[in-house]
Each structure stands twice: as structure tokens, then as C-alpha cells.
Amino acid sequence: MTLSRRRFLQAGGVLGAAASMGAMANVPFSQGDTPPRLLPPVGSVDCHMHLYDSRVPAAPGATLLPADASLEDYRQLQQRLGIRRMVIVTPSTYGTDNRVMLDGLLRSRGDARGVAVVASSITDTELGELHQAGVRGIRFNLSVGSQALDGIEKLAARVDELGWNVQVAPGPLLPEVAPRLLALPAKVVIDHMGHVPQPEGVKSAAYAALVRLLDSDRGWVKLSAPYLRSKSGAPLFEDVGRVATALISHRPDRMLWGSDWPHPTLASEHKPDDGLILDRLMAWAPEAGTQTSILRDNPVRLYDF
């Protein structure tokens, strides 16, 4: 059973939530203005969010060009959800330019860790500088095809020495690339529930690949962006929820939660209600102890908070 909001406010909350939640409305890039029913435990982490700043040019050929989304904008969402910590992921928009993410790390005052996108030519000194800044992972986005994994084996071995993870946005290619991911020496984090297709769901090859990764004891899965593959749609995302429930039941110690704010793949009129999305975790993982593992204990361990 989830702790009550009353107990949360009596305890002082997170980010001054007692003072701010009643006044919170119109969070940028998010629908709704009421707090979620689920009370995240103190120390919880939003494991997948992005920042955008048009003062930093997009990479040549970038197709996803969202509006500016600042750390100050995101802090409003944190106040609404009651989550202070975050993992800032460099989006595909910037290629290997991590300046926006690094600026967010600096201004987060210790509340954030980062996931960078790097070239295979990156030096050990540069990796060390990223580590000092708070980076704890590198990301490969397969939206351009499996060739995006070029050089992953050598990079994975190098970042594993730093204790980092390798994060993969697989799109529909997870079954194809799973053997390569299973052979990596580093921890592997899969974005957005592996983009398991619907209506196949738990019967799909993508779900089977996720299970193999989890069984390797090096795989982790982000329970994020349920809207990407859902056919049943908001607010319940029942089809994707069945995938989430199965994954959590299989390896609750390898699950992470992420908002995917500012939801860059969705048009402004289709941004979700982030409070309702967080509340889906109560349906996927009804036990308070499992919720605590997903929201706090697992990411604190993985991202070195």
C-alpha cells in the first residue's frame, strides 16, 4: 500500500512540496496539475529525462528538434511528482555534443547523473572529465539502424572500468542486436521497455530478448514512455502495462522508472499527464517495497548516487 500524501506533507516532503504542490500548475511539456497518488520515497530518481537549448546547434541531419526545455522547467515537474534526483540523457538532437547535459549536471548541485553520447575516438582524459562531472553511462540510439552500435564493444570495455553502463535505445531492432549486447562486458540499460511491440507484447521476440538480458545479471530496463508502443492508449496504457508487470515480476531488482520529459517524440497537444504516468507504477508494482526498489534503490545503485 502506498504511503499517504498526508504523511508526506507532515514529514516535510521533497523540494518543499508542502508549500508548492497546491500551487503547481501548467508544468511545461506536461498535462495536468494535480500531484500523483503515489508517494515516491525520499531519494527517488527519474532515470530518463532530457534538456534542450537552442543556443547549442543541433547535429547535422538531426530530425528531432524539440522546443527549449530547461532545468528550471523540469524542476517544476519534480515539485509536482515529489522526485528530486534525475538522470539527464543527451538526446539524439545533439549527436556527441554533451554540453546541454553537462550544464544541467553542473546546475543540479548534485541531484543529477548524466548519460552521454560519445565518439569512439574519445580519450581516457575526456572520459575522466565526464566522470568527474557526474556522467555514469553512454548511450547508443538505434533509430538510424544497427550501424549505430559500431565501436560499442571497445567503448563498453572502457566505460565498464569506470563503473558506467551502456544504454541502448533499440527501437524495433532489439531482437537483432541482443546477441551483441549480451556479449558486452558492461552493464546494459534498455530504454523505454525495449520498445516491445503491440499487440504481441510478452509473446514478442523483443520481450524474449529483454528477458535474456535480465537473466544475464547485467541487463536493466527503463519503465518509461509507455505511450511509444501502446495501442490501447492513455491514461491506462493497459497493453504496455502487461509488459511492465511481467518485467517487474521477473526482475524487480533490475527495473528503473523514467518520465521521458519533455516527451520529445510527442507533439505539444499530445503531451501526457506525468502524474498519471507515475501512478501507473502502482498498478504495475502494487507492493510498496517493489516501488521503492524501482524508484530509489535500483537507480541509486546503478547511477552511483
Cβ neighbours of residue 40 closer than 8 Å, sequence gap 6 or more: 14, 81, 82, 83, 278, 295, 296
Nearest-angstrom CA–CA distance, 275 and 28: 13
Kindly state whether residue 220 falls inside one of the protein's structural domains.
yes
Could you write out the DSSP letters of every residue in 278-289? HHHHHHH--SHH
Domain holding 123: CATH number?
3.20.20.140
Domain count, the chain: 1
Amino acid letter at 253? D
Kindly state whether residue 18 falls inside one of the protein's structural domains.
no
Could you tell me which residues are beta bridge partners of residue 190?
Answer: 168, 221
Sheet strand arrangement including 165-169: 45-49, 85-89, 112-116, 135-141, 165-169, 187-190, 219-223, 255-257
Kindly state whether residue 95 falls inside one of the protein's structural domains.
yes
Nearest-angstrom CA–CA distance, 119 and 96: 7
Nearest-angstrom CA–CA distance, 99 and 2: 38
Please give the pLDDT value at position 4. 35
Kindly state whether residue 152 falls inside one of the protein's structural domains.
yes
Could you tell me which residues are beta bridge partners of residue 220?
Answer: 189
Nearest-angstrom CA–CA distance, 257 and 138: 18
- 143-158 confidence digits (pLDDT tens): 878 889 999 999 999 9
The helix (run of H) or strand (run of E) holding residue 49 is strand 45-49
Burial class of residue 145, CB neighbours in 10 A (0-12, 13-18, 19+): exposed
Are residues 249 and 211 in contact, defined by beta-carbon separation less than 8 angstroms?
no
Amino acid letter at 275? G
Determine the structural domain holding residue 262 and report its residue range. Answer: 38-56+64-303
Please give the pLDDT value at position 26. 82
CA angle in degrees (0–180, nearest 5) for 49-97-159: 75
Cβ neighbours of residue 1 closer than 8 Å, sequence gap 6 or more: 288
Nearest-angstrom CA–CA distance, 85 and 184: 28
Nearest-angstrom CA–CA distance, 2 and 37: 8
Are residues 173 and 191 in contact, defined by beta-carbon separation less than 8 angstroms?
no
- pLDDT tens for the 305 residues of the chain, in order: 443 333 333 333 444 433 333 444 589 999 999 999 999 999 999 999 999 999 999 999 999 999 999 999 999 999 999 999 999 999 999 999 999 999 999 999 999 999 999 999 999 999 999 999 999 999 999 987 888 999 999 999 999 999 999 999 999 999 999 999 999 999 999 999 999 999 999 999 999 999 999 999 999 999 999 999 999 999 999 999 999 999 999 999 999 999 999 999 999 999 999 999 999 999 999 999 999 999 999 999 999 99
CA angle in degrees (0–180, nearest 5) for 187-260-23: 135
Nearest-angstrom CA–CA distance, 209 and 255: 15
Please give the pLDDT value at position 143. 83
Kindly state whether residue 183 falls inside one of the protein's structural domains.
yes
Are residues 182 and 216 in contact, defined by beta-carbon separation less than 8 angstroms?
yes
Could you tell me which residues are beta bridge partners of residue 188?
Answer: 166, 219
List active site positions.
260
Nearest-angstrom CA–CA distance, 190 and 167: 6
DSSP state of 52: B
The structure's pTM equals: 0.91
- Other Cβ atoms within 10 Å of 191 Cβ, number: 27
